[in-house]
Amino acid sequence: MSVLSLEKFVATIEAIQGQIFLDKHNAELINEVFNGSFSGYDNTAIIKSNISLLQEWFPKDGNGHCEIEHYCFELNFGRISEDIIITPENLYDRLMLDVVKPFAHA
């Protein structure tokens, strides 16, 4: 399998982030209209499928930990408050270290 380009990786991460933001924003607006009785549209399946696709290039480690999921959901896309600490490009570079490492010993 060929290596996923930085541009495609970043575009996918940004699309996931954008969809999550849009879903939350739209749910808030609709809840204002319907007095909190709307839970929003669930795009979890699409988000999970995009992450699963990225995991084809950057799989979970031996303990089942996924750095992509951690970045998106635990680190809020690399943010502390509103400041971006880890960019998608930084994440890609970090993940590429693990992809290149096995080939260095071949």
Over residues 14-47, the pLDDT tens digits come to 999 999 999 888 888 888 888 776 666 788 899 9
Q: Does 40 or 63 have the greater pLDDT score?
A: 63
> Which own/partner contact pairs does 67-75 have at CB distance under 8 Å and 24+ positions apart?
67/91, 67/94, 67/95, 68/13, 68/95, 71/13, 72/13, 72/16, 72/17, 72/20
Q: Does 103 or 83 have the greater pLDDT score?
A: 83
pLDDT in tens, 79-90: 987 787 999 999
Looking at residue 105, its amino acid is H
> What is the pTM assigned to this prediction?
0.82
Q: What is the pLDDT of residue 100?
A: 64
Q: What are phi and psi of 35, to 5 degrees?
A: 55, 45
DSSP state of 65: -
